[in-house]
Structure 1
Amino acid sequence: MKTDYTLSIFLVAIGIGLVACEDHRLSPNASFPERVNFVAQRQYPEGIAYSAQLDRFLVSSITQGKIGAVDINGNYTDLITPPELISSMGIKVADGHIFVCNSDQGVSIKSTPQTATKTAELLVFNLNSLLLERRVDLDDLYASPRHLANDLALQPDGTVYVTDSFAPVIYKVTSTGQGSVLVSNPLFSSATFGLNGIVYHPNGYLIVAQTGAGKLYKIDLNNNNAISEVGELPTLPGDGLTLLNQDLYVVTGSGSRVAQVRSTDDWKTASIVKTDEVGYNQATTNVAVNGSIYTLNARIGEISAAMGNTALLQSKDYSIQKFK
């Protein structure tokens, strides 16, 4: 459906592997507040990352198809406004590159009948030049009437894993840009939103949220990609996931709270050890910075409420909340 292309410079940069994910680096230059409020007209920023190099949070945009930057004082600027990005979703920063999911829920200023609910791509930008270096088409890898690339996880060897919320599939993209289906399973199906947030665990597996089912699943990369439900949890309709100090921070409750989830048996089972419900409203996902979790209040509920009438999407006030 779309063209996949690469630049030779990217093969050199990524071929050595993602030795460190910037989302989890310490920033030596700033003391972070408990809350960052920012103004960005009609941004609706579904994804958040942090770049120590830029000393900024990076936020995506469902409605604008761009990437913005927010400093700790709440100053927002457009960072990348590429024509290829229809609706930017999950975003990560690692080793001088920005990785972002490209989708189309039909509410972007760039939406077309050909792309709406049919788009799942991985785009990679150079953090220094801000130029697009790779565009990997994923929706052609799995036959489904609907697609939505939602979130991504990075493995240290350069492999990227991408969830599709409208098709029951997780994609795999190698460090050289080859896309494939990692797993597909009816467990990931949903009449509304299926797979959502995803993280890579250094013990060699993925943890993924199935929003519609309210469950977390483990995909064991060292055991033929075996899928198992993380047991003993209550219903947990998760959105974004972030792993910090072996605990998983799950945005849940339709974006009204963040749950700190812990496992003592390598994620066969888990339990909620703490829930923070102060300062969250229509939140989507989070990022680890300076040993703390910061969650994006993205006004995500307005997106579903405005389907069919995008003129309703006019919000400009957003915030980033620290987990306490």
Structure 2
Amino acid sequence: MGFSRIMSFTITKSILIVTAIFSFFQAPVSASSPHVINFRSPNLYPESLAYDPTAQHFIVGSLNHPTLLAISDAGVVNTLVNDQSLPDTSSFLGVTVDIFHHRLLAVVYNRSDPSNGALAAYDSRAPHTRLFLTTLHDPASSPTAAGANDVTVDFSGNAFVTNSASNLIWKVDRDGKASVLSKSKVFNKTAAVPDMLHSSCGLNGIAYCTKGYLLVAQSNTGNLYKVDDEEGTARKIRLNRELTAPDGIALRRDGVLLVVSQHKLYFIKSDDSWSEGVVYDETALDSESFATSVTVGAEDRVYVLYGHLKEGILGNSQRDEFSILEVRSEDESAGEAVWVYVLIGFGLIYFLIWRFQMRQLFTNMNKKIA
């Protein structure tokens, strides 16, 4: 009978342990909340967002100033670059981090001469010396049309910059020498959607894929393009649903393309190297906060920038608070929860098998004692 009591106690204790484990795994699935970073900087109105994995902070530019700011996970702001050598009417639009060559790349926008953009490169290490400033100008563009917009970089240090007015892509090598990579006719085959905010904004967000091509979003058509990074040949990516005014884009390590717009963040994947793409989820965003950029932070977390850009463009506000918000795919979160429950199920099955074996052992022991 003593052995029976021990077995009863052991089984009861095991059930309590399994229940505790179940509760432990269930809590993170249902209770964790997205990371929100609020930060302050007077009249900043950042248009682009990047993440520096080496320094472990976010980097934002400004619609109104030639400044690059570092934003910590806690919202602490530090100025990395304040380039006073640029004209007073200059600002930084697209930004990216070249982690292999310790550089920060920023697209320079001149409000007094929008068609004359530039790409500036700065050392990512203090004191953040400027390495080069390369003028990016398309003679065919209207003098009042905004040109250079977003930027990405490959492993060799070549930067690729979109021109939203002329639908072209520049390539700027590591030394700052610029050339036109692509001015494909494919970019102009689709008529622009009539829209007050985006009708004049063509090629916009751009991301480099390690397989040797670029993915590019076109705001005024909703199209995505795959562009060869050497030849500049381009083709439209077929999607299962339309995108509305896509802006910034980013690639996650698992190959998922993240496309942000004012109203939504799209999650897109491809099984054929981007001949086709599937929008498998979309998450609603706060349209008043006007998201314009998306990046991938630590642990592959996805973040969008709420820069309130429309207020900055209209010039009718003096806002000093902005935010960086973690955004999750509901479909992916549901899938993660399923895997947790599957693991718990295997644990319960193992426990039941063990319990059955112990019961058989107990029965055999009783027979021998009798």
What TM-score does the superposition give when structure 1 sets the normalisation length?
A: 0.80
By relative contact order (CA 8 Å, sep 6+), the higher-ranking structure is: 1
Output the amino acid matched with 2:301. Answer: S
Alignment of 1:4-23 (within 5 A): none
Unpaired stretches in structure 1, ≥5 consecutive residues = 1-31, 107-111
Deviation readout 1:75-94 (Å, 9 max, x if unpaired): 22322110227110111112
| Structure in which a larger fraction of residues adopt strand | 1
Give the structure 2 partner of residue 61 of structure 1.
62
- The equivalent residue for 2:132 is 134
1:300 & 1:130 partners in 2: Cα distance?
A: 26
> Equivalent residue for 2:292?
284
Counterpart of 1:177 in structure 2 is 176
Residue aligned with 1:61, SS = coil
Hey, what's the Cα distance between the residues in 1 that align with 2:325 and 2:235? 32
What does the per-residue CA deviation read over 1:144-203, in whole Å, with 9 as the maximum and x for residues that have no partner? 223421111111111110001122210001122210001113543554111100011111
Work out whether residues 186 and 234 of structure 2, in 8 Å CA contact, stay in contact via their aligned partners in 1: no
Deviation at 1:96, TM superposition (A): 1.5
Matches within 5 A, 1:38-77: 38-77=39-78
How far is 1:44 from its partner?
Answer: 0.5
Displacement of 1:142 in angstroms is 4.5
CA RMSD in angstroms comes to 2.0
1:264 alignment partner, one of 256, 263, 271: 271
* Paired position in structure 1 for 2:259: 250
Matching residue within 319, 339, 361 for 1:315: 319
Secondary structure, in 3 states, of the residue corresponding to 1:188?
Answer: helix
- Where does residue 307 of structure 2 map in the other structure? 298
1:96 to 2:102 alignment: yes
**What is the aligned partner in structure 2 of residue 18 from structure 1?**
none
* Structure 1 counterpart of 2:106, one-letter code: V
Q: Partner of 2:282: helix, strand, or coil?
A: strand
SS for the counterpart of 2:276 is coil
Contact 1:44/1:63, CA 8 A, preserved across alignment: yes
Deviations 1:187-242 (A, max 9, x none): 435541111000111111111001001110111236x3221110034221210000
String of CA shifts for 1:236-262, please: whole Å, max 9, x gaps. 12100000010100002xx22211001
Report the secondary structure of 1:138's partner residue.
Answer: strand
Q: Figure out how many residues of one structure are paired with residues of the other and give that number.
A: 275
Taking the aligned partners of 2:213 and 2:38, their CA distance within structure 1 comes to 35
Q: Which has the higher helix share?
A: 2
Please report how far the alpha carbon of residue 103 of structure 1 lies from its aligned counterpart in structure 2 after TM superposition: 1.0
Residue of structure 1 in register with 2:18 after alignment: none
Identity across matched positions, percent: 26
1:282 aligned partner, one-letter code: F
TM-score (normalised: structure 2): 0.70
Segment of structure 1 superposing worse, 118-127 or 76-85 = 76-85
Q: Deviations over 1:98-124 (max 9, x none)?
A: 1000113x3xxxxx3xx2x22221100
- Aligned partners of 1:63, 1:282: CA distance in 2, in Å? 16
2-side partners of 1:187 and 1:214: how far apart?
A: 14
Please name the residue that 2:21 is paired with.
Answer: none
In 1, Cα distance between the equivalents of 2:57 and 2:277? 33
Aligned equivalents of 2:235, 2:124: Cα separation in 1 = 36
What is the match of residue 123 of structure 1?
Answer: 120
